[in-house]
């Protein structure tokens, strides 16, 4: 029912992110693994040094994000390329702080945790939601990608802190983070843990999980790894991501249906 003379139109809100399915988590872990191995590989191969490589990859990321923001809705290839690049850049940022500026991993962990918390606080204060299912405006998408960047930087610091500084080891660290994610999933399903909170905690934990897996596969056996090397490991995981993304692009199994909402006509709003 409408007031006499009032005109109501509808607009369609198109989600800019995928539905959270098993495919989402598979690609997320694969992407985080590449973030660890590709960052190391590119720093060695490009010849720009750690800082130079960071700037180059950040520039590539900006270009991809421009396409992501301009896309009318979620496009698997663009979205997941952005995630992979954010994983690489987030890793490089933390590595720069640790290796070049000698910032302790404990301090990096605290700083990035504060940055992520501040992003969430401002996001919620502005939009009143942190749900991934609400990413349908440019402002919400901007908050989303900033949060994702900080989750990668924070996850890198936490993963390196536990696996290397605390000498837990790569394989044990991977099992530890996988177990933590399992606990979060069980708490969400059986204890009533808030779905949005569960999602973001699991999202953060997939970063050190993927990093531990990547280090375990790529690092020399003398350092506790399998010795596959960063190049081989990165190519294997990139190929796996490509296969899943092509599958999702064809089947559209991870695409949310559009939401239609009613809007008052612009002329009526000014009345």
How far apart (Å, rounded) are the C-alpha atoms in residues 228 and 230? 7
Share of the chain above pLDDT 90, in %: 64
Phi and psi dihedrals of 12, rounded to 5? Answer: -105, 125
How far apart (Å, rounded) are the C-alpha atoms in residues 45 and 53? 10
Provide the pLDDT for residue 8: 39
The domain locations on the chain are 22-269
Q: What is the mean pLDDT of the chain?
A: 87
SS3 60: helix
DSSP 255: P
Nearby residues of 47 by Cβ (< 8 Å), 6 or more positions away: none
Q: What count of other Cβ atoms lies within 10 Å of the Cβ of residue 6?
A: 13
Q: What is the pTM of this model?
A: 0.87
Provide the pLDDT for residue 248: 96
SS3 260: strand
How far apart (Å, rounded) are the C-alpha atoms in residues 75 and 77? 6
SS3 136: coil
221 falls in which pLDDT band (50, 70, 90)?
confident
Q: Is the pLDDT of residue 269 over 80?
A: no
258 falls in which pLDDT band (50, 70, 90)?
low
62 falls in which pLDDT band (50, 70, 90)?
very high
How far apart (Å, rounded) are the C-alpha atoms in residues 229 and 70? 36
21 falls in which pLDDT band (50, 70, 90)?
very high
How far apart (Å, rounded) are the C-alpha atoms in residues 182 and 206? 11
- Cα 47–Cα 84–Cα 224 angle in degrees, nearest 5: 70
Mean pLDDT for the stretch of residues 192-216: 92
Q: What count of other Cβ atoms lies within 10 Å of the Cβ of residue 24?
A: 19
How far apart (Å, rounded) are the C-alpha atoms in residues 210 and 223? 18
Contact 51, 96 (CB under 8 A): yes
Torsion-angle region of 224 (φ positive above 0: left; ψ -120 to 50: alpha; else: beta): left
Q: Is the pLDDT of residue 4 over 60?
A: no
The candidate with the shortest Cα–Cα distance to 148, out of 70, 66, 61, is 61
Provide the pLDDT for residue 63: 98
Is pLDDT larger for residue 46 or for residue 126? 126
Q: Is the pLDDT of residue 6 over 50?
A: no
268 falls in which pLDDT band (50, 70, 90)?
very low
pLDDT digits (tens, 9 = 90+) for 155-179: 889 988 898 888 888 889 999 999 9
């Amino acid at each position: 029912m409408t007031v006499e003379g009032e005109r109501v139109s509808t607009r369609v809100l198109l989600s800019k992110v995928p539905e959270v399915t098993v495919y989402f988590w598979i690609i997320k872990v694969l992407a985080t693994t590449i973030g660890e191995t590709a960052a190391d590989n590119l720093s060695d191969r490009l010849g720009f040094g750690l800082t130079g490589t960071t700037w180059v990859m950040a520039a590539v990321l900006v270009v991809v994000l421009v396409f992501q923001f301009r896309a009318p809705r979620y496009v698997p290839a663009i979205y997941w390329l952005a995630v992979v690049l954010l994983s690489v850049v987030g890793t490089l940022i933390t590595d720069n702080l640790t290796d070049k500026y000698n910032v302790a991993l404990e301090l990096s962990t605290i700083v990035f945790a504060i940055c992520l918390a501040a992003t969430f606080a401002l996001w919620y204060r502005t939009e009143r939601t942190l749900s991934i299912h609400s990413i349908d405006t440019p402002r919400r998408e901007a908050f989303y990608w900033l949060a994702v960047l900080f989750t990668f930087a924070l996850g890198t610091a936490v993963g390196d802190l536990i696996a290397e500084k605390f000498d837990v080891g790569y394989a044990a660290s991977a099992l530890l983070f996988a177990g933590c994610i399992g606990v979060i999933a069980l708490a969400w399903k059986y204890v009533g843990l808030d779905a949005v909170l569960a999602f973001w905690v699991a999202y953060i934990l997939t970063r050190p999980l993927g990093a531990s897996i990547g280090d375990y596969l790529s690092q020399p056996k003398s350092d506790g790894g399998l010795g596959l090397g960063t190049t081989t490991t990165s190519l294997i995981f990139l190929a796996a991501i490509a296969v899943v993304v092509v599958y999702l692009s064809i089947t559209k199994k991870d695409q949310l249906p559009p939401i239609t909402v009613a809007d008052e006509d612009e002329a009526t709003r000014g009345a």
